[in-house]
Structure formats: C-alpha cells, structure tokens
Structure 1
Amino acid sequence: MSLTRYSEAALAILCVVGLLVSAGTAAAFTVSAEGVPEESAVGSEVSVTYTVDDPFTDTSNQWTLTGHTDLQNVSWTVTVLRAGSQVSQETYGSQNFSQGLDINNNGDQVRVELVGTTPEIENYTYQPREQYTVATLTRVSGNNENEFRNDTAHHYTQESREARAAIESAQAAIEAAGGNEEAEGLVDNAVSAYESENFQNAVDLAEQAENVAEQAQQSQQTTRTLLLVGGGLVVLLLLAGGGYYLLQQQGDDYDAL
C-alpha cells in the first residue's frame, strides 16, 4: 500500500473517531442545582439556583417552564442566556410561575434563582419527618407535562428539633440496652406528645425512657460481672478442692508405705 493510501486510511479513521466523540458529547437537556437544603428552620431564608442547559434539546422548539414552591415571601428570577450572555430576565413574586420559551429567540441556558422563607409546619409527624416542597420545575409542551426537578426538605422549629433529638437519643439508649419494654413504652408516649405539639412533655418522657434504658443496661452489665466473678470463684474452689484431694491421696500413699 502506498503512502497516499495509508494517509487516506488514517484520515478516514480519524473522521470516524471524531464522529464517535461528537456523538458521545452531544448536547442534552440537563438541570443542575445549588443550595438545595436537606432541612431548614421555620422562618429561615432559603436560596436555590437551578440551571437548565440546552433547554431545546430532545424536546419541542416551544415549551413553557413552570415552577412551584412551598416557600413563603417568594422571589423567582428567571434568566435566559446565550453563550454566557444574558438574553432576557423576568422576576415573579408568587409561589407559582410560568414562562414561555422559544428556540428562535431564547438562548442555550436558563437559570432559575429562587429565594424564600421556610414555611410553617401544618402537621407534626415524627416518622416520616415533616417535609415541604423547596421547588418543582416542569416542562410543558401542549398537553404533555414533564416534571424534571422535585426537591423537598425537612423543616422544624427549635422546640420540635429538641424534642426529636431527645427521642432519638432515647431510642439509641434502648437499642444499646438490647431493648426494654418500659423504656419503649415511654418513647411511644414521647412520640405521641411530639405529634400533639407538646414538645416539653415529649422531651421529659424521652429523658425518662433514656434513664430507664441506661439503668437496665447497667443492671445487665452488673449481672454479667457478678456471673463472671461467681464463675471464677467456682473454678478456684474446684481447683482448690482438686488440689486438696491430691494432697490427701499422696498423704495416704505415704502412710501406707
């Protein structure tokens, strides 16, 4: 094969590799988030930023972006960018917003900034933990709706957090003790008090349960120690008795001589 043919073959291979690489790195509709909390205190501020890249890939050329949040005192800022430069920006002040997007006059990235305060807790539940919707984002095209982001977080008050911590501590003590019926009953009562929003009573009951569990564990440890000591004494007595018996046998053998 001539050098020219080698060059042509190499060029063809490079083209194929290039196509494969291009296919592997093709743009795709993606969304990322920053600042989504796992939990937040009632009344505290939450600030989240969502970034949608390539918003018109694998979807229609016209669609509507909608958002919802349970946060209070809400501000949504929706910024459309093209190649990093701002194309447009809209601000919405309610828990829900809706904005149309069009491939002909919108960019290649949409940034959604959400700021609000953590809502009140309507219903206290120990398990599962109380949750609120940080944000949902949906792509609406005709009659088709695709919810592509849904973030939730646990919310709490100082009182509910202290009560939950006390109950969790009591549960850990019960587990360490290998279970205790009395302590478990107290924890059940503490959970009921928690869900009735009687947080101080929940703390008191949980602390009682923890004390009962710890006392039970100490009692078990004391019993085990006494059993070990008693077992050791039995072994010593057996050894002493065996030694005395051997000495007696040796003495009888000597007298017989």
Structure 2
Amino acid sequence: MLDSLSNYSKYIATVVGILFVVFCAVTAIVTPTSAVAVDTADMVRDERVGTQHTVSVTLTDLYEEPPLESWTLTGSTALVDVTWTIIQYDQTGAQIDQQSYDGQRLTGTRIAAVDGTNRVSVRVAGTIPRIESFSYDPKQSFRVVSLTQTRTGGSSSVIDIWTATHSTEQSASAREELTTARETVSTVDSDRAKQTIQNAIDAYNGGEFALATRLASEAEEAAKQAQQSNQMFQYVLYALSGIVVIGGASGIVYWRRQQRTEDKL
C-alpha cells in the first residue's frame, strides 16, 4: 500500500513538472501584446492588386505599461513601393518631429518622453501586392501593417497587426459567380451540382478563373435542373395522392350503395 502511494506521488510530481516546463516554454514563445494604445486606425479592407493606398495609425499611452522613458517603434508591411512617415506630437498637439523611410520594414524610430512626444502618427503609403496563391475560402489576404514596441535590451511586444483581402478583376468576377452558384447549389440535394461547384472552387484556387466561372455556371444550371425535377416529382406525388383520395372516396360511395341494395333485398 505504501509503495502504491509512493509511486502515485512520484507520478503526480512528474506530471506537474512536465506541465510546468510546457507552460514556461509556451510563455517564452508567445510574444506579449504591447499596452501602447491604438487611438485610430484607417486601414484598407478589400482592394484590387496594383492600386495605391495610404493607411494610418495613431498611437497614444506611449509610456504607461510597462512604465518606460523611451522605446523604439518598428514595423513591417506587405505593401510594395512603400514610404513610411512617422510624425511625433507633444501634449499640446504641436508637431515636434517628422521622419520618412522607404522599404517594407521600418527598422526603428525612437520614441522618448524626454523629447516631449505624447502622440505618434504612422502613415504608410504603398501599392497593393500581387497575389502569390489564390484561395476562395478563406479569401486570400495580406499584412497591411504590423507595429512593434522594442524596449532597451531587445525585448519586444506587438502593438497590433492589420490585414486585408485583395483580388484582381478576374478573380473578383469569378468569386462573384462562384458565390451566386454556391447559394443556388446549397438549396438542392444534387451530387452532380455539388461536385461541379467543388471543381469550380478548385479551379479558382488554381488561378483558372475562366474555367471556374464556366464550372460555376454549370453547377448552378445543374442545381436548377435538380430543383425542377424535385418540383415535378412533388407534383406527380400530389396528383397520385389526389387519385388515391378520389379513388378511395369513390370506393366508399360504391360500397355504401351496394350495402343499401342488399338491405332492400
């Protein structure tokens, strides 16, 4: 009995030890979120490849959690032909510094209380990137902007990450056809229509938009035909039910008449 209790205690201790190690490892891997506040964020949502846009973020509560006197603002974007503009303001709202950088990575801008910086505006101007891999569901997306607070000593925390979807004229048109066809197919039980719409989605994911559009149209037509067949079948059932009811009523009337004739005899 004592041996069993001893073994059980060792087992519990081992499990607790393993869980503690896992917890520490996960804690070390996960990047903490910064307490710098995002006051406003003007972002793109769903844009065409190749179009130019400017997004902006305003940061406040720059030194509160954890308490800091200074830190470095870094960032990255998937936009191309990029220009970053970092503007710093004091407590009165007056601009005290402005710096511009080119490239997809913002390597570092110093934010310091001693400089009087109370609010920071980040503007990123660039072009929506081309699509490396198309996806119908979920729709293909890209990183618009990510901002990070890096502290003295090298530790860092993510302020925020913004993403958006993007498309070409051809992919947008094909997606619209697919969405309409899927809605129609979802209303009927047709294996042919379901398989065809799946083939259309596969074609879309492969960047074959003309094929995807054609298959979506075929799937929608197959769904409509199945719907018509179902309606026709229901009409036939209604008709047969009517015949049965009429036939049954006629039989009852005939039987009653026969009964009356037999009673008279």
Quickly name the TM-score band, shorter chain normalised: 0.7 to 0.9
Equivalent residue for 2:175?
164
Larger Rg: 1
Residue pairs, 1:5-16, within 5 angstroms: none
By how many angstroms is 1:81 displaced? Answer: 1.1
- Given that 2:111 and 2:117 are in contact with CA atoms closer than 8 Å, whether structure 1 keeps it comes out as no
User: Could you say what the CA RMSD is over the residues aligned between the two structures, in angstroms?
Assistant: 1.7
Query: Over residues 33-66 of structure 1, what are the superposed CA-to-partner deviations in whole Å (9 max), with x where a residue is unaligned?
Result: 4332321110122222211112111132111001
SS of the residue 1:176 aligns to: coil
Equivalent residue for 1:15?
none
- Given that 1:174 and 1:213 are in contact with CA atoms closer than 8 Å, whether structure 2 keeps it comes out as yes
Q: Structure 1 residue aligned with 2:74, among 54, 63, 66?
A: 66
Residue pairs, 1:20-169, within 5 angstroms: 29-59=36-66, 60-83=68-91, 84-97=93-106, 98-141=108-151, 142-169=153-180
- Given that 1:33 and 1:48 are in contact with CA atoms closer than 8 Å, whether structure 2 keeps it comes out as no
Equivalent residue for 1:221?
231
TM-score (norm 1): 0.82
Equivalent AA in structure 1 for residue 61 of structure 2: D
SS of the residue 1:50 aligns to: strand
By how many angstroms is 1:185 displaced? Answer: 2.2
Distance 2:196 2:103 in 1: 44
SS of the residue 1:212 aligns to: helix
Percent of aligned positions with the same letter in both sequences? 31
By how many angstroms is 1:175 displaced? Answer: 1.1
Could you list the runs of 5+ residues in structure 1 that have no partner in the other structure? 1-27
Query: Over residues 221-249 of structure 1, what are the superposed CA-to-partner deviations in whole Å (9 max), with x where a residue is unaligned?
Result: 21112112211221122112212222332
Equivalent residue for 1:239?
249
Equivalent AA in structure 2 for residue 174 of structure 1: V
TM-score (norm 2): 0.80
Equivalent residue for 1:10?
none
- Given that 2:36 and 2:159 are in contact with CA atoms closer than 8 Å, whether structure 1 keeps it comes out as no
Distance 1:29 1:126 in 2: 35
